[in-house]
């Protein structure tokens, strides 16, 4: 199998609109959650979210393209442009048929869908935008990236709910390992902060209604009662190692393991026995060719819902055994909220930067330990630690479990 490395990264998040700003705020334990500004929340139980702030889209799209793109596509394109420029790739260094695009979105253009429905009901069918369909479909981000960068290889849209970003990176890794691509855009984008999405998640009791900015997204805390919705885009450039070396590319980390399973249990709830999540971790660690004890850090899915955090803790204990209490675990969703499909790719960037800097980020706003959740969740303050392997989990509605293992790069 060919070795796969990360040579470019881009991020637009509630904690910063580029990778460096994002990582510095994660290290510092900053909170990206605040009052919702994208719509009037007077009639809503949920009034807070983790919004992307002060993004200048003129750096990435002209006004015409921006008007014809849903916000999820805008956020994803900003991240993709950053990643491509960061990688140093260009049409002279890669065959367009060897450049793949594997990106997705959990719910796609929901804001556009909501707004066009309102036009239909209030003003009639003649007022629905002719751009509605390409604006709402989840694969339009991948198509837009491919058009901009003449990427003529495989272009697929992964949709596995909150595991989308993780699975996109994992499937792109497999493409490159087998020689089906030389490099790939991989990741996801999400823009769910609209009336329709927030109402839907609220009414299914997935979101916390506490509305305390520093006391609502509290993964692994005994008082957790639901997640805080977030938005953003995070894209990686994955590349075959020898190709990257031949063009003297900078290499951030190596992608060495990927595991994907389905609980086949329930449309939203995780399986209480946690075997699916455990199996995904086992598969990723096995592919990495290491023992569980060699994992230096786990970036947990850690949504702050009662079931998720308990089930994920149970799965970690099943895989790591006695060593489970020794490995530091953090949920950075305590700072970013839950970016849904984009969460896994944003958290992959966190893992890569953690490996580079030798630093484990915290789980902030952790105040009340849960007796049954007794692992090292790195409460409130991050810590310096030499790291070699970092593992990230993503667990999505529909029972989708995805795990990636990244290795600190060494020739």
Q: Say if 411 falls within a structural domain.
A: no
Sign of CA dihedral 341, 346, 350, 351: positive
Q: Say if 132 falls within a structural domain.
A: yes
Q: Say if 407 falls within a structural domain.
A: no
Q: Say if 319 falls within a structural domain.
A: yes
Q: Say if 343 falls within a structural domain.
A: yes
- The whole-number pLDDT of residue 83 equals 99
Instruction: Write out residues in the chain with pLDDT < 50, as ranges.
Output: none
What tokens appear for 58 in the block? 């003129």
Judge residue 121's burial from the number of C-beta atoms within 10 Å of its C-beta, 0-12 exposed, 13-18 middle, 19 or more buried: exposed
What's the angle, vertex CA 145, arms to CA 139 and CA 151, rounded to 5?
Answer: 105
Q: Say if 405 falls within a structural domain.
A: no
- Counted residue by residue, the chain has a size of 411
Q: Determine the distance from the C-alpha atom of residue 58 to the mean position of all C-alpha atoms in its chain, rounded to a whole number.
A: 24
Pairing, β 383-384 against β 359-360: antiparallel
For 124: left if phi > 0, alpha if psi spans -120 to 50, otherwise beta; the answer is left
- The whole-number pLDDT of residue 392 equals 98
* DSSP letter assigned to residue 122: H
- The whole-number pLDDT of residue 411 equals 77
Q: Say if 312 falls within a structural domain.
A: yes
Q: Say if 125 falls within a structural domain.
A: yes
Q: What would the pLDDT profile of 102-151 be if each residue is shown by its tens digit?
A: 999 999 999 999 999 999 999 999 999 999 999 999 999 999 999 999 99
- 342: closest CA among 66, 33, 10, 61? 10
- 338: closest CA among 141, 49, 136, 110? 49
Pairing, β 253-262 against β 400-408: antiparallel
Ranges assigned E (strand) in 13-150: 34-35, 48-49, 99-104
How many domains are there within the chain? 1
- 367: closest CA among 172, 212, 262, 255? 212
What tokens appear for 297 in the block? 């850090």
14/242 Cα distance (integer angstroms):
35
Q: Which residues are catalytic?
A: 162, 301, 338
Pairing, β 389-396 against β 99-104: unpaired
Domain CATH code at residue 221: 3.40.47.10
R_g (Cα) of the chain, nearest Å: 20
- 262-291 per-residue burial string, b: 16 or more CB within 10 A, e: under 16: bbeeeeeebbeebbbbbbbbbbbbebbebe
Cβ(390)–Cβ(351) below 8 Å: yes
193 contacts: CB under 8 Å, gap ≥ 6 = 36, 38, 39, 49, 51, 229, 230, 231
Quick check: helix, strand or coil at residue 13? strand
Domain that holds residue 176: 1-400
The helix (H) or strand (E) run that includes residue 202 is helix 195-203
The helix (H) or strand (E) run that includes residue 168 is helix 164-177
179 contacts: CB under 8 Å, gap ≥ 6 = 2
Judge residue 147's burial from the number of C-beta atoms within 10 Å of its C-beta, 0-12 exposed, 13-18 middle, 19 or more buried: exposed
Q: What would the pLDDT profile of 225-243 be if each residue is shown by its tens digit?
A: 999 999 999 999 999 999 9
- The whole-number pLDDT of residue 267 equals 96
Residue with tokens 């008007």: 67
């Amino acid at each position: 199998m060919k070795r796969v490395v990360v040579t470019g990264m881009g991020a637009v998040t509630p904690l910063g609109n580029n990778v460096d700003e994002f990582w510095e705020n994660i290290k510092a334990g900053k909170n990206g959650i605040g009052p919702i500004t994208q719509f009037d929340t007077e009639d809503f139980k949920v009034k807070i979210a983790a919004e992307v702030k002060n993004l200048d889209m003129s750096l990435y799209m002209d006004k015409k393209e921006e008007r014809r793109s849903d916000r999820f596509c805008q956020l994803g394109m900003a991240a993709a442009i950053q990643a491509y420029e960061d990688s140093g790739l260009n049409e002279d260094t890669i065959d367009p048929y060897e450049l793949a695009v594997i990106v997705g979105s959990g719910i796609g253009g929901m804001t556009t869908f909501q707004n066009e429905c309102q036009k239909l009901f209030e003003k009639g069918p003649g007022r629905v935008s002719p751009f509605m369909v390409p604006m709402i479909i989840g694969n339009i981000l991948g198509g837009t990236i491919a058009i901009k960068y003449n990427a003529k290889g495989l272009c697929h849209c992964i949709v596995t709910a909150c595991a989308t970003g993780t699975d996109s990176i994992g499937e792109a890794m497999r493409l490159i390992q087998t020689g089906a691509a030389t490099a790939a855009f991989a990741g996801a984008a999400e823009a769910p902060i609209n009336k329709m999405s927030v109402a839907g998640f609220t009414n299914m009791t997935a979101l916390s209604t506490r509305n305390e900015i520093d006391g609502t997204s509290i993964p692994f805390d005994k008082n957790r009662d639901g997640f805080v919705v977030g938005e953003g885009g995070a894209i990686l450039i994955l590349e075959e190692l020898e190709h990257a070396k031949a063009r003297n590319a900078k290499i951030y980390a190596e992608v060495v393991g990927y595991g994907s399973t389905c609980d086949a249990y329930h449309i939203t709830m995780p399986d209480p026995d946690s075997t699916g999540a455990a199996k995904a971790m086992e598969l990723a660690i096995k592919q990495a060719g290491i023992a569980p004890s060699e994992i230096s850090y786990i970036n947990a899915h850690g949504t702050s819902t009662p079931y998720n955090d308990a089930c994920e803790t149970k799965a970690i204990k099943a895989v790591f055994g006695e060593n489970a209490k020794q490995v530091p675990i953090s949920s950075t969703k305590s700072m970013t909220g839950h970016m849904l499909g984009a969460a896994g790719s944003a958290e992959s960037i966190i893992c890569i930067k953690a490996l580079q800097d030798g630093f484990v980020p915290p789980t902030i706003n952790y105040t009340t330990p849960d007796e049954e959740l007794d692992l090292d969740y790195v409460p409130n303050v991050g810590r310096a630690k030499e790291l070699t392997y970092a593992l990230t989990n993503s667990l999505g509605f529909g029972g989708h479990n995805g795990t990636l293992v990244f290795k600190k790069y060494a020739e």
